[in-house]
Amino acid sequence: MAAAAPPPPPTPTPTPANTLPETPIGNPLFVRIRLADKDDVPHLHKLIHQMAVFERLTHLFSATEDSLSSTLFNSPPFQSFTVLILEVSQTPFSPDQHHNNPIYPPIIRIVNLDLPINDPETEVFRSSRDGVVVAGFVLFFPNYSTFLAKPGFYVEDLYVRDCYRRRGFGKMLLTAVASKAVKMGYGRVEWCVLDWNLNAIRFYEEMGAEVFQEWRICRLTGESLQALGGN
Amino acid sequence: MAAAAPPPPPTPTPTPANTLPETPIGNPLFVRIRLADKDDVPHLHKLIHQMAVFERLTHLFSATEDSLSSTLFNSPPFQSFTVLILEVSQTPFSPDQHHNNPIYPPIIRIVNLDLPINDPETEVFRSSRDGVVVAGFVLFFPNYSTFLAKPGFYVEDLYVRDCYRRRGFGKMLLTAVASKAVKMGYGRVEWCVLDWNLNAIRFYEEMGAEVFQEWRICRLTGESLQALGGN
């Protein structure tokens, strides 16, 4: 996002997406979290733009598919900027050579819904590769704590499309980042939230996050950055 | 720092360190900013500990020289965690093969002081390599703006030892980061400040930084991180 890591519209009462029924009943939705790559840029660009609209920050939005392509996916995942894509399907995911990335085997869950989700943008977000539908993403990268002398992850963006919210998908994405942090021996996972977004704050606190009230983000950008650093 | 990028005690009225007299008069102090490496870890560890004491956060401080050594300087500078060291000398710096890093030629300035600085820790912070004295550091790493589709730099720590404050050295370190960001075509430089540190906020705003009032930092660490990501 344009500002400092806008949280997703929170999922205030996440459904227990991690407790999977052995035999899905009702309306099962198959959910996959996998590493993104350059092929995902068209969908990613649309998701980021949606986020800018949601945050009423389109005046700060200047990303293009080309600029995303040239700045992302140039380093090994988890060492630098990393994107995980959230996909859904009404039928089980077929084994897929492309997505069975040995660096990060996809996470697959089944969520049982009372009613099927009506997604008005199914075709816009349908994958040309295997026909599943992109529902959200998380973008994060390593940061560092000198007090801990350990890296961590900073979550810049966490976004779930409107019709998929309040199903626990935001928590699934954040859990995926936290799991990777724990596996890598990292010391923390951080992100930002708007102070008036009380639902998000409650959601994050329920997940065990501490929300710091005293710190403020400072930013040099545009002409100010040029003025200080342009000589 | 332990918390989210504590700013240095600000230099509220920075002296114009960048306007160098051709012929130093009075009490010239020679100042160098250079890339740090593993040899700097003992001094770096002491500086970080001083910062923890200053911020009354020593209970969060667990870094050791070994843990810093094993987690820093493992990637090419500016691609990942990067440290610039601020050094001072009462005599001109001798040309030094070791420090003339082609990736980042040292920045050298001369600051003319009304009175010499009385540094009670000169010997603790004297370099065994060339006898100059370490006065501060900045630690930063790339971050990413999806709205700009550009990387930036996040400044985790900016610290100048007490007796060297209010001389413009903090601004010199931040300017060094901003300059590198501009050279790399990056879109922004960010850091955090405590909301009650009005001197620091004024100082940053005078440098052209925007201070965001609405964003709050969220953090998962320790048991909470394990609880969410430990499965």
Phi, psi of B206 (to 5 degrees): -65, -25
CA neighbor of A141 nearest in space, from A185, A78, A187:
A78
What ranges do the domains of chain A cover?
Answer: 27-226
CA neighbor of A133 nearest in space, from A157, A163, A155:
A163
Number of helical H runs and strand E runs in chain B: 5, 8
pLDDT band at B147 (very low <50, low <70, confident <90, very high): very high
Using an 8 Å CB-CB cutoff, list chain A residues near B154.
143, 154
Query: What average pLDDT does this structure show over A1-5?
Result: 38
Does any CB of chain B come closer than 8 Å to the CB of residue A150? Answer: yes
pLDDT tens-digit map of A9-24? 444 444 444 445 455 5
CA neighbor of B152 nearest in space, from A4, A144, A152:
A4
How far B30 CA sits from the closest chain A CA (Å)? 20
Which among B183, B208, B212 is the nearest to A4, CB-wise? Answer: B212
The CA-based angle B140-B127-B141, given to 5 degrees, is: 5
Does any CB of chain A come closer than 8 Å to the CB of residue B195? Answer: yes
The pLDDT of residue A25 is 64
The pLDDT of residue A87 is 97
Token pair recorded at residue A7: 């949280």
CATH topology of domain B27-226: Aminopeptidase (3.40.630)
pLDDT tens-digit map of A129-162? 788 999 999 999 999 999 999 999 999 999 999 9
Instruction: Mean pLDDT check: name the lowest of A17-26, A210-219, B89-98.
Output: A17-26
- If one compares B9 and B194, the residue with the highest pLDDT of the two is B194
- Compute, in degrees rounded to 10, the torsion defined by CA atoms A176, A77, B191, A226: -140
A150 pairs with which residues across the strands? A145
Catalytic residues of A: 204
The CA-based angle B92-B93-B98, given to 5 degrees, is: 170
How many beta-carbon pairs below 8 A join chains A and B? 288
Using an 8 Å CB-CB cutoff, list chain A residues near B230.
179, 182
The pLDDT of residue B7 is 45
CB burial string B166-190: b at 16+ within 10 A, e below:
bbbbbbbbbbbbbbbbbeeebbbbb
Does the reported pTM lie above 0.80? yes
Does any CB of chain B come closer than 8 Å to the CB of residue A36? Answer: no
